[in-house]
């Protein structure tokens, strides 16, 4: 799967036309992380959105393992908008990882350059929040 196809599968970007997906790619960067290295640390600010292209990662909150990520998974999309600190530490898995990263500054520049895209991006973000809410609802005992 190409980077463009991977981004088009992300709720935040799925409504964007192809030329804007190309611009998102141009404004982002690809990073490689060695095994066992934190990609982001809980409480950090400004790291933006990260999408795994290869490899895996472990997620922990307050030092407690809470999940894992693999190719196509992403995190940090809300920090693109509000700049809040990370709620978890994400550490690369045993084979390391390759990821696409979009900084808050690059995201803001995209919105400034194409203000009409804000509504499309907000629709994608709302879709993501609704999906996460439904997952939380499934795990909460009644």
* Residue 109 belongs to some domain of the structure: no
**Which CATH number does the domain housing residue 18 bear?**
2.60.120.10
For 16-23, which contacts have Cβ atoms below 8 Å and span 24 or more sequence positions? 16/117, 16/120, 16/121, 16/124, 20/110, 20/114, 20/117, 23/110, 23/113, 23/114
The two structure tokens encoding residue 1: 């799967």
Per-residue pLDDT of the chain (142 residues), as tens digits, is 788 888 888 777 777 888 889 999 999 999 999 999 999 999 888 778 999 999 999 999 999 999 999 998 888 887 887 777 888 999 999 999 999 999 988 988 988 988 888 887 777 777 777 877 777 766 545 4
Helices (H), 38-91: 79-82
pTM above 0.85, yes or no: no
CA–CA distance, 89 with 67 (Å, rounded to integer): 11
Asked if residues 3 and 53 have their Cβ atoms less than 8 Å apart, the reply is: yes
Which range of residues forms the domain containing residue 37? Answer: 3-104+114-139
Give domain status of residue 26, yes or no.
yes
Provide the domain count of the chain: 1
């Amino acid at each position: 799967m190409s980077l463009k196809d991977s981004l088009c599968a992300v709720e935040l970007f799925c409504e964007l036309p192809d030329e804007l997906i190309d611009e998102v790619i141009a404004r982002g960067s690809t990073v490689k992380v060695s095994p066992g290295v934190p990609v982001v640390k809980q409480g950090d600010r400004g790291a933006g959105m990260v999408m795994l292209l290869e490899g895996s990662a472990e997620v922990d909150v307050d030092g407690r393992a809470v999940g894992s990520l693999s190719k196509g998974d992403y995190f940090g999309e809300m920090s693109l908008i509000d700049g809040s600190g990370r709620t978890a530490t994400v550490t690369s898995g045993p084979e390391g990882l390759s990821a696409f990263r979009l900084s808050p500054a690059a995201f803001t520049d995209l919105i400034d350059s194409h203000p009409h895209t804000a509504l499309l991006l907000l629709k994608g973000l709302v879709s993501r929040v609704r999906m996460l809410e439904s997952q939380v609802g499934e795990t909460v005992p009644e």
